[in-house]
Amino acid sequence: MKHIIFFSGLSLVLAAVSSCSKKFVTLYPEGQLNEGIYFKTNSDFQQALTGAYVPLRDAASIAFYLEEMRADNTFFDYNAKDRGGSGNEVIAEFLDDATNSNTQALWQANFQGIQRASTILDKLQAGKPADMSDSSQNQIIGQAEALRAHYYFELVRLFGQVPLYLHEVTDAQNAIVSRSPVDTVYAQIIADFTDALNKLSPPTFPQPGTINKGMVATELGLVYLTLKQYDKATPLFQSVTQMGYSLLPKYADVFKAANKNSTESIFEIQYSAGNNATPANGTVGANNQSSQFVYDFIPNMTSTLVVLGVDYQNTAGGWNVPTQDIVNAYVPGDIRLDASIGVIKGHLNDQTDFVPDSVVSILNNKDTAGKGMGYTTSSTHRFAKKQYNAPYTGVTQQYNTGDDWYVYRYSDVLLMLAESLNEQGQSGAALPFLNQVRQRAGVAPAMTVDQSSLRDTIAHERRVELAFENHRWFDLVRTGQAIPVLTAYGVDQKKAFPFLLSNTYNVTQNKLIYGIPSRDVMVSPGLGQNPGY
């Protein structure tokens, strides 16, 4: 009997004690925000919106491989010592497959942005915080929608069919979505941009670097241009010309660090240098907003002091190197050549590593091409100069610059408007917009009103005006020129660079979009793969 009392008493006590332990075993991190306490105030949503911009940086940091180096504007320095970059090379050579790390990184960054935008839209849908005004709500929704549309527009052009994530992912089940047809994706992009266009305000100058009505009208215009719906594109571009944008007087000034978010800037990915960018323990700090374009674009070298004004070894370089083809595309007197392409002269040391001696103008070194150019073991190198803002003094870390990436500039809008008008048969109306751009470049005005030849003139103008700004590949694809232009270019390349294998530059219809990253094909049942990958 005693024992029965004892054990029943004990079990009661144990039961009681264990139920009161629930609080004891419920812990949240002290050093990190968690979802349970977030998305409650206007400020939370503003911060989350800022977070949704961040993948723009991740995408732009590598997009040049897929959107510029794929085309005829740029190539790479063949690095015999470090073959680890062959994943970048195969993109230029059209030998890439679905395992390409750049393809995957760009895919990942854009979808991350989509998820952040959709999360904001869903959480707002569920309930507006009490302290959020209607206008604030409109600005947040408009920017989130525009971001989502922008990310999808990049994806649909690179990959074709993609899955549509219009709601927040909350668990492993709703994380898996199958791909939607290209038309459906475009319909969603147009829907998001159209709503954003209504919600957002026109730009104010100086610009804060966030998305406004001007960016949305421009990109939606490009969407219609891509879809060849010129009647819808033209009014959008026209509306942008009424928003207060203007070309800076000097082309070279557009890319100067001092002129970030200028009146010519319509959409610019914001980067900033900072000493806290990447602590040595490997975790990326919140302040890591730096870019490293210039390090990617100049050659590998033992010391960057002569070129960048700071003394680091560069092993990230030799990419997006201007080709002889693009150098030749600038007509004599075009001031954009010197503003877009630089030349670094130097010598090789005992280890056959490049040591720079000086940065010189391409105008005097236009014909250093041929033997050697395109190899890391050359003593003369070209580099894409638009993100070159040396000296980088004041920054005490390698691979850390504050150079922005330009997505849409006002000259782009003018050229798109010209193109759209020309395609609508209004070639005469197109000329003033085209010539506004040519005039600044020091190039004679175009006179022709023949639709076909004006089409070629505008396309060429786009190539030199927007060189190294990730437009060339998309322009070639959307105008149907990619296969003929790049096949011919490939023949020249193989002559210039004997290391290229015979099966390079096999430009086919399948290669006009990239392979779906094989990791996701494996992880996401039913995702499928693009033909040819």
332 touches 363 (CB < 8 A): no
The Cα 372–Cα 78 span in angstroms is 10
Taking the C-alpha atoms of residue 109 and residue 61, their distance in angstroms, rounded to an integer, is 10
Shortest approach of another protein to residue 90 CB, angstroms? 7
What kind and span of H or E run contains 357? strand 354-361
Residue 388 burial by CB count (10 A; 0-12/13-18/19+): exposed, middle or buried? buried
Give the nearest distance from C-beta 93 to another protein in angstroms. 8
DSSP 322: E
Could you tell me the smallest distance in angstroms from the CB atom of residue 164 to another protein?
A: 10
Per-residue tokens: 385: 């100069």
Nearer to another protein, 25 or 258 (CB): 25
DSSP for 84-144, please give it: GGHHHHHHHHT---TT-HHHHHHHHHHHHHHHHHHHHHHHHHH---TT--HHHHHHHHHHH
Nearer to another protein, 425 or 526 (CB): 526
Cβ at position 378, least distance to another protein in Å: 7
Question: Which residue is associated with the tokens 């977030």?
Answer: 38
The three-state secondary structure class of 481 is: coil
Q: Which CB atom, from 139 or from 436, has the smaller least distance to another protein?
A: 139
DSSP 164: -
Closer residue to another protein (CB): 31 or 249: 31
Query: Shortest distance, CB of residue 447 to another protein, whole angstroms?
Result: 43
CA distance 202 to 139: 11
Q: Cβ 292 to another protein, closest distance in Å?
A: 16
Residue with Cβ nearer another protein (185 or 326): 185
**Cis geometry, peptide bond prior to residue 206 (ω within 30 degrees of 0):** yes
> Which tokens hold the place of 157?
């052009």
Closest distance between another protein and the C-beta of residue 319, in Å? 17
User: Least distance to another protein from the beta carbon of 140, Å?
Assistant: 13
CB of 163 to another protein, least distance (A): 5
Q: What is the largest CA-CA distance in the chain?
A: 112
- For another protein, give the closer residue by CB, 351 or 491: 351
Cβ-based nearer residue to another protein, 49 or 458:
49
* Distance of closest approach, residue 475 Cβ to another protein, in angstroms: 26
Cα distances (angstroms) measured from residue 317 to each of 19, 75, 216:
61, 12, 34
Show the CA angle centred on residue 291, arms to residues 100 and 376, nearest 5°: 60
DSSP type of residue 374: T
CB of 255 to another protein, least distance (A): 18
Q: Cβ closer to another protein: 363 or 523?
A: 523
Q: Look at strands 74-75 and 380-384 and give their pairing.
A: unpaired
End-to-end CA distance of the chain: 77
Distance, in Å, from the CA atom of 321 to the CA atom of 384, rounded to the nearest integer, reads: 6
**Is the Cβ of residue 140 or residue 233 nearer to another protein in the bound state?**
140
For another protein, the closer CB: 82 or 450: 82
407: alpha, beta or left? (left if phi > 0; alpha if psi -120 to 50): alpha
| Residue 204, both tokens | 């104010």
Helix (H) or strand (E) holding 485: helix 482-496
Nearest distance from C-beta of residue 467 to another protein, angstroms: 26
* 23 versus 134: smaller Cβ distance to another protein: 23
Closer by beta carbon to another protein, 310 or else 359: 310
